[in-house]
Structure 1
Amino acid sequence: MFEALLLVTFIGFVLANHSRLGTGNPYQIFFFVWLTVYTGYYLTRDLFIRIDDSFVFVTLVSQYFALFLLIISYLKSAGITQAQKAPDLASIHLNKWFYYPLFFLVVLGAYPTYLKAIELANGQSIFTIIGFMTLRNTITYEDRNFGVYGYLTPLSIIVAMVSAVGYRNRQILLPYFLVSLGIALFYCYMATGRTFILMLFCFVFMPFFIAKIFSRTSLVMTGVIFISLFLFIAGMTGKGISFDNTTAQNIRTFQENIVGYTTAPFVAMSQLFSTFDRPEYGQNSLRFFFAVMQKVGMADVQSVELVKDYVMTPFPTNVYTVYEVYYRDFLYYGYFIPPLFLLLHFWLYRYAVVRGGRWIMFYAASTYPLVMVFFQDQYFSLTSQWIQMIFWLTLLCVRSRTGRSQM
C-alpha cells in the first residue's frame, strides 16, 4: 500500500510541474515535500518502527484528495496566459513612508532585545552553547519570553523580505538590504529555533524564485548560506553536529539527524494515529482564539501546550507533521483540512502572477507553512504571527506605478 502512496504523490508532482501551472505553484511544493519524505521513509524504513496500514490508507486518501484539487486548479489555470506565468517583481512598490521608520525600529530594537535574551539566559552569554541552550529552554519550557520585543522578530523578517525586493527594484540602496538581512538573522538567532531561519529563507528567496530571476549560481550560493546557518544553529543546540567531534563523526550524526528530522515526524504521526481517538474539537487548531478569549475573560478555557511530548520512532521527536493538530481536533476528517489549504495557496498564486504587487509577497510568505508540512503545522499554530505579517506587508507594499495593476 505504501507503494501506492508513493505513486500517487509522484503523479501529483509530475502534474504540478506542468508549464500550465507555472513555476513555484503550491502543488509543486506540496508534492515535492511529501515525495521527498515518503521516498526517504521507504529507503530507510528498516531504521524506523513499523507504521500501521490503516494510517497509510488514510494518508493515501488524503493524497488522492490533494491530487483531485490539483486537477481542478489545473483546469482553472487555463485563463492564465504564458506571459503571466511568472510574477513581475517590478509591480511591487515600496512605501518608504513606512519602510524607513520600521527599518530603524528593528535596528534600534536589536540591542534591548539582546539584553532581554541575556536576562532570559540567566545572565549568560547567548553566544556560548550553554547560554544559548539556557535561553532556548527558558523560552520553550518556562513561562518567560521576550515580551513586546518578541514582535520584532516577525517584523525583522518582513523588513528583510521587502528590502531584498526593494533593492532589486532600485528603490533602496544595498546597505539597507544587507543590514536588514543581518538584523533579521540576529533576531532569528535569539529566537533559538531553526524554523525561523527557514522562515527567513522562504520569505526572502521565494519572491525571486517564483519570478524566475534567480540564476543557478545565486541559487547554489543561497542554498549554501542557508545550510551553513542551519548547521550553525544545530551545533549551538547540540543536534546534528558538535564542535568537539571529528568531521567524520559530525557527518554521520548530521546524516542521522537529517533522516530523523525529515522522516521521524511522519512516523511519529503514525503513532499518534494509532493511540489518539478522542477529538478535541478545535482546541489545537484554534488555540490562538481560545488563548485570546481566556486572556480577555470571555471564556474559562485552558489553551493547549504548543510543545508536545517526545516519542521514539526510534529517533526522538516531538513534532508530528502538519496533520497533527487537525487530527487531534477532528480525527480522520482532519486529514482533509491541510490539502484544502492548497486552494488558498493557489488563489494567492493566481493573484501573484496576474495582479502582481503585494500579492507576490503574500504568496511568497505563504509558502513557508507549505514547506513545513512535513514537520509541523505552521498555519493556525502561527495565527498571531500571520496577522502581524499581513499587516506589515500591507503597509510596506503599495500599488506600483509601472507594474501590473493590483486588487
Structure 2
Amino acid sequence: MIYSYLILTILLTLISWILSRDVVSPPFIMGIIWSIMYFLLCITRYQIDSENIYYSIFFIGYFLFTIGYFLTIKIKINRNIIPVYFKDIEIEIKSTNIYIFFIVEAIVTLYLFITIFLFLRHNFIFNIWFSIKYGQAVGTYHESQFITMFRVLINCITCIFQILYLLRPSKKLKKIFLVQFLFGMLFAFTSMGRTFIFQLFIPLFVIYILIKGLPNKKIFKTYLYMFIVLFAFFIAYAYLKFPYKINQSGFLSTQLDIYATSPMIAFVNWCNSSPLYLDGANTFRFFLAIWNSIGYDVTVPDLIQKYVYVGNDLTNVYTVYFYTAMDFGILYSLIYIFFVGCFNGFLFKKIILAHKNKVFWICFTSQFYFPLFMQFFQDQYISLLSQWIQYAFWIYLIVKSGYFYKIKEFHNEKIKTINPE
C-alpha cells in the first residue's frame, strides 16, 4: 500500500505543478517532501506493516493541504511580478541607526559568550554543544528568555537587510547585510539546535528566489544549494549530539533513518495504540501558558514529546500531524492541515498581489517555509505560535517604523515616499 501512496503523492505533486507552474508554491514543495518520505519508507531498514491504513494519512493530509491552498489562491498568479514592483525605487539607508543596533548586538553577543564560557569552565563534556545541551537537560544551564526572544529579532533584521541588499545591490548594503548575517549565524549556532539554524537559512534562500524572480530551472539549483547547506548542518549536528556513538558502524545512515522515516512510523504506531486525547491542550497551549504565567494553576503541555522506540532506535518526533491529533484525533489533525494549506495560500497570494507592506509580506511569508519543509519531522505551526507572533511583531515594527531605512517609489517622475513599505 505504501507504494500506492507514493504514486498518488507523485501524481498530486504533478497536478499541483500543472495548476501553479511554480516550484516555489507550497503544495509543490510539500508534494516533493512527502514523495521523498514515502520513497524512503519503502526502502527503510525498519520492519513496518506496509498494509497499515494509517500510512495513508500523509497523502490525505497533503491532498487537503493542496485543496485549502488553491481554494484560497483562486486565481493563477505569477510571482515574477515581485521584482517589477520594486523596479523604480530608491532606498535611503539610515546608517547611524544601523550602526547603533550593531553595537547593541555586539554587547548582547558578548554577554551570551561570557555566560557560555563561565558555564563551560566547570561543565565541559565531549564538546561545547553537548555540554550545553546536557546542562539544559539536567537543569544546570539556563538561557534567559531575553536571549531567546532576541534571536527572533536577529533573524527578522537579517532577512530584511537581505531584502534591501537584493533590491538595490551596493557595497554599503552588502557590508551591512554581511555584518548582520554574521550576528545571525552566531545567535543561530549558540541556540544549540537545528531550529534557529534552519529558521535563519531557509527564509534567506526563499527571499533570494522571490526578490530575484528566478525561473524554475534556476530555483532547482538554489534548492540544491540549500539542501547541501542544511544537510551539512544535519551531519554536524548528529556528530555533536552523539559524540560517544560516532565510531559505531553505520552511524550516519542510522541518523538519517531516525530523522527521515522514524517520525512517520512513530506516528502510525501511536495511531494503532488507541491513545487518550488531550482535549485541546496542545491547540490552546499558547493561551494556557499565558494563564499559567499570570497565576492560574493550569497544566501547560511540554513541546518536547516523549521518546519511543522505532526498531532499536529512540525518537521523539512524529510528523506534523501528531501535535493536533493528540488533542482530538486524526480527523482533527487533517482538518488542521487543510487550514494550514489555506494559510499558506493566503500568504503566497499576499506576496504577489499586495501593494502595501510588500517588504513585510515577503519577509513574513518566507519564515513559514521553515515549518513547510519540516512537516515530515514535527509540527512547527501552532506549536510555535508564540514565536510566530514575535516574528509578525518585529517584522511589522521594523518595516513600519522607518528606523533602519526608507523606500521612495517613483511614479511618473513624481516621488511617493513609502514609510517604508
TM-score, with length taken from structure 2: 0.82
User: What is aligned with 1:7?
Assistant: 7
Query: Does the 8 A contact of 1:6 with 1:35 survive in 2?
Result: yes
Residues 283-341 of structure 1: CA deviation (Å, up to 9, x unaligned): 123222211111102x3212112222211212321111111110100112223212321
C-alpha distance in structure 2 between counterparts of 1:201 and 1:173, whole Å: 19
1:309 corresponding residue in structure 2? 306
State the match for 2:148 in structure 1.
150
Q: Helix, strand or coil for the counterpart of 2:28?
A: helix
- Could you tell which deviates more after superposition, 221-230 or 184-193? 221-230
Residue in 2 that maps onto 1:293: 291
On the 8 A contact 1:86/1:211 being kept in 2, the answer is yes
- Aligned-partner Cα distance in 1 for 2:258–2:16: 27
Counterpart AA for 2:361? W
- Unaligned stretches of 5+ in structure 1? none
Aligned residue in 2 for 1:373: 375
Match of 2:178 in 1: 178
Residues in 1 aligned to 2:11 and 2:410: alpha-carbon distance in whole angstroms: 36
Contact (CA 8 Å) 1:23, 1:86: kept in 2 or not? no
CA contact (8 A) 1:95 1:397 kept: no
What is the one-letter code of the residue matched to 2:258? Answer: G
Q: Out of 311, 315, 318, which is 2:316 matched to?
A: 318
> What's the counterpart of residue 401 of structure 1?
408
* TM-aligned CA distance change 1:312 to 1:104, over 3 Å: same
Instruction: Tell me if structure 2 keeps the 8 A contact 1:265–1:321.
Output: yes
Cα separation, partners in 2 of 1:263 and 1:124, compared to 1, 3 Å = same
Q: Deviations over 1:26-62 (max 9, x none)?
A: 1122212111111110122x52433672312444443
How much identity, in percent, do the aligned residues show? 21
Matches within 5 A, 1:7-406: 7-18=7-18, 20=20, 22-44=22-44, 46-50=45-49, 53-73=52-72, 76-78=74-76, 80=77, 84=81, 96=94, 99-121=98-120, 123-124=122-123, 129-140=126-137, 142=139, 145-147=142-144, 148-168=146-166, 169-170=168-169, 172-213=172-213, 221-238=225-242, 242=246, 245=247, 252-297=250-295, 299-314=296-311, 315-332=313-330, 333-355=332-354, 356-398=358-400, 400-402=407-409
CA RMSD of aligned residues (A): 3.3
Q: Deviations over 1:206-230 (max 9, x none)?
A: 1112345565776655544443333
Rg (Cα) greater in structure: 2
Against the structure 1 CA distance between its residues 58 and 240, is the aligned structure 2 distance closer, same or farther, given a 3 Å change threshold? farther
1:116-169, CA deviations, whole angstroms, 9 ceiling, x for partnerless residues?
2345556446xx744421211233453853112222222222222122222223
| Equivalent residue, structure 1, for 2:415 | none
Q: Secondary structure at the match of 1:281?
A: coil
Count of matched residue pairs? 395
Q: Matched residue of 1:272: which SS?
A: helix
Shift of residue 370 of structure 1? 0.9
SS of match in other structure, 1:312: strand
Question: Matches of 2:176 and 2:371 in 1, distance apart?
Answer: 27
Change (3 A) 1:94 1:181: farther
- 2:155/2:184 contact within 8 Å kept: yes
Equivalents in 1 of 2:288, 2:316: separation in Å?
23
Tell me, in whole angstroms, the C-alpha distance in 1 between the residues paired with 2:90 and 2:142: 35
Q: Normalized per residue, which structure has more helix? A: 1
CA distance in 2, matches of 1:312, 1:200: 31
Any unmatched runs of 5+ in structure 2?
A: 401-405, 412-417
Give SS of 1:18's match.
helix
- Look up the equivalent residue of 1:108 and give its one-letter code: I
Q: 1:233 to 1:316 in 2, by over 3 A?
A: same
Whether the aligned pair in 2 keeps the contact of 1:154 and 1:388 (CA below 8 Å) is yes
- Give the Cα separation in 2 of the matches to 1:290 and 1:77: 39
Q: After superposing the two structures, state which structure 1 stretch, 200-209 or 320-329, moved more.
A: 200-209
Q: Distance in 2 between matches of 1:118 and 1:293?
A: 35
Q: Distance in 2 between matches of 1:385 and 1:63?
A: 25
The AA in structure 2 aligned to 1:184 is: G
Q: Which residue of 1 aligns with 2:414?
A: none
Give the deviation of 1:235 after TM superposition: 2.1
Query: What code does the residue aligned with 2:42 have?
Result: Y
Task: Please identify, of 27-36 and 167-176, the stretch whose mean Cα deviation from structure 2 is larger.
Answer: 167-176
- The worse-fitting range, judged by mean Cα deviation, of 204-213 and 396-405 is 396-405
Distance 1:101-1:403 versus aligned 2 partners, 3 A rule: farther
CA 1:241/1:401 → structure 2, altered by over 3 Å: closer, same or farther? Answer: farther
